[in-house]
Amino acid sequence: MSPLEQDAPPVGEEVHLPGPSILPVLTALGITLALVGVTTFLVLTFIGGILTIVCAVRWVKETRREIDELPLDTHVRD
């Protein structure tokens, strides 16, 4: 190895990316329905609110499950 060549840095941690999910889109749809329902039909507000709550709860559960599957030596950086 010549003096101009340097050793490659060590490979860092594997980057974890969440899998594809429809829940963010459904949550946004629920919020939109709730806001449109405020100005038009009250029924849309209830449907949108329920959809938002259900999707948000499922989204949090899915995220917690994915975090639990990560290796224990994974550290969160500040």
pLDDT at 5: 66
Helix axes 42-68, 23-39, angle to 10 degrees: 160
The per-residue pLDDT for 38 is 95
Return d(Cα 19, Cα 75) in angstroms, integer. 20
In the chain, where are the structural domains located?
23-67
- At 19 the pLDDT is 82
Q: How far apart are CA 66 and CA 61, in angstroms?
A: 9
| Average pLDDT per block of 10 residues along the chain, 78 residues long | 61 72 95 96 95 96 87 60
pLDDT of residue 75: 55
User: CA-to-CA distance for 64 and 72, rounded, in angstroms?
Assistant: 14
